[in-house]
Amino acid sequence: MNVHTIGVMMNGVTGRMGTNQHLVRSILAIREQGGVKVGDNEIIMPEPLLVGRNENKLKRLSDEHGGLPFTADVPGALQDNTWPLYFDAQTTVRRYESVKAAIAAGKHIYCEKPIAMTSAQGLGLHSLAERAGVKHGVVQDKLWLPGLRKLKHLIDSDFFGRILSVRVDFGYWVFTGEHEPSQRPSWNSKRAEGGGVFLDMLCHWRYVIDNLFGYIKSFTCLGAVHVTERWDEQGRRYDSDADDAIYATFITDRDIICHLSSSWCTRVRRDDLLMMQVDGMKGSAVAGLRECWIQPDSMTPKPVWNPDIPSPIDYRAGWALMPTNQEYDNAFKAQWELFLRHVVLDEPFPWNLKEGAKGVQLAELAYESWEKRRWMDVPEL
């Protein structure tokens, strides 16, 4: 067996995303399945090194997973060639400097979104990585969600005909922490600590729209700070000054209108946390995280406005659930496998730091749109 082992230093690995999605459900899951199979007799095997500032937390995580190597000496690990790949899932404000240092040390880069606090910094990282000749990528996990992959299949097979519009409804109630502990870290709700749903979620919506419906040409975005008082992990009250809802409308270069609501202040009465409805001339589809329902033109009921009687049409019954014809792996793991193939086998990996910078650019322009109350064009980066 030809085994390509690759050392991956994982920074921010004690965090919510670092531990659950990247260490446990991606890197360790890949190791448990025997590596990434890339040929009859060939695999790629990632070897993680847990890095961070808190040795105790790292040790605890290491012990929980059978004694993985760990160190709080990040500069030392950067100089160690045993770990050619640097992964970063720290809080957003720390990403730019950390990734920059890793590029300077000659590491390949894979990191969480947002890749920086400004698009200029993001583009800077892209240029540095290109100049250093290292491989680089950004997490764009939503593209591997089963529901979105089913939508992509419908688009590619021309189920919709001409696509007219898309409606994205995302969000859930994030508890304030007063009576019920919050399910998101408190830095998310503080602007000075890199929080805010604009930077957080518009990075996702940028690549989702660009990849499925065409490059975003222009848009308008209204934000809100709906909840201004929250309680942190220690139960201390603080002023939450970060934007917690996005109300945006985008137009793409395929003239598709995407209308989006993305909020931490809404309660779910839909099939899933994320629902996307796509309306086309030949049919419509509604996708959640895993499932996708379709209604072709020939199955479309003909409603007549009459609120004086109960609806004669069962609207939900007129949709068919798409079958799940293949097994979908965890979205983060699926992208990790492609990145490892990119590093080891030089296979293409378009989700690079420039794509990451585009997400940050959209968030920046969104703040401007909100502040100036106007439509923004999105210049090509």
Shortest Cβ 220–ligand NAD spacing (Å)? 24
Shortest Cβ 200–ligand NAD spacing (Å)? 5
**Which residue of this chain has its Cβ atom nearest to ligand NAD in the complex?**
15
Our finding on whether 16 is near ligand NAD (CB under 6 A) is yes
Q: Considering only residues 125 through 154, tell me which ones interact with ligand NAD, judged by CB under 6 A.
A: 139, 141
Please report, as a single letter, which amino acid is at residue 378.
V
Compute the distance between CA of residue 356 and CA of residue 346 in angstroms, rounded to an integer: 20
Shortest Cβ 210–ligand NAD spacing (Å)? 16
Nearer to ligand NAD, 31 or 94 (CB): 94
Compute the distance between CA of residue 127 and CA of residue 71 in angstroms, rounded to an integer: 29
Do 265 and 174 meet the contact criterion of CB atoms below 8 Å apart?
yes
Shortest Cβ 170–ligand NAD spacing (Å)? 12
Our finding on whether 289 is near ligand NAD (CB under 6 A) is no
Our finding on whether 101 is near ligand NAD (CB under 6 A) is no
- The piece of 14-22, 59-67, 248-256, 260-268 that touches ligand NAD (CB under 6 A) is 14-22
Residue with the two structure tokens 């660009």: 210
Residues 6+ apart with CB under 8 A from 91: 12, 15, 185, 187, 193, 194
Please report, as a single letter, which amino acid is at residue 234.
Q
Nearer to ligand NAD, 139 or 256 (CB): 139
Compute the distance between CA of residue 135 and CA of residue 119 in angstroms, rounded to an integer: 20
Residue with the two structure tokens 């892209």: 126
Our finding on whether 186 is near ligand NAD (CB under 6 A) is no
Which neighbouring-strand residues pair with 277?
Answer: 167, 286
Our finding on whether 53 is near ligand NAD (CB under 6 A) is yes
Q: Considering only residues 64 through 93, tell me which ones interact with ligand NAD, judged by CB under 6 A.
A: 89-92
Residue with the two structure tokens 């969104």: 366
Our finding on whether 236 is near ligand NAD (CB under 6 A) is no
Supply angle C-alpha 283, 284, 288, rounded to 5: 150
Q: Count other C-beta atoms under 10 Å from residue 106's C-beta.
A: 14
Footprint of ligand NAD (CB under 6 A): 12, 14-18, 52-53, 89-92, 94, 112-114, 139, 141, 185, 200
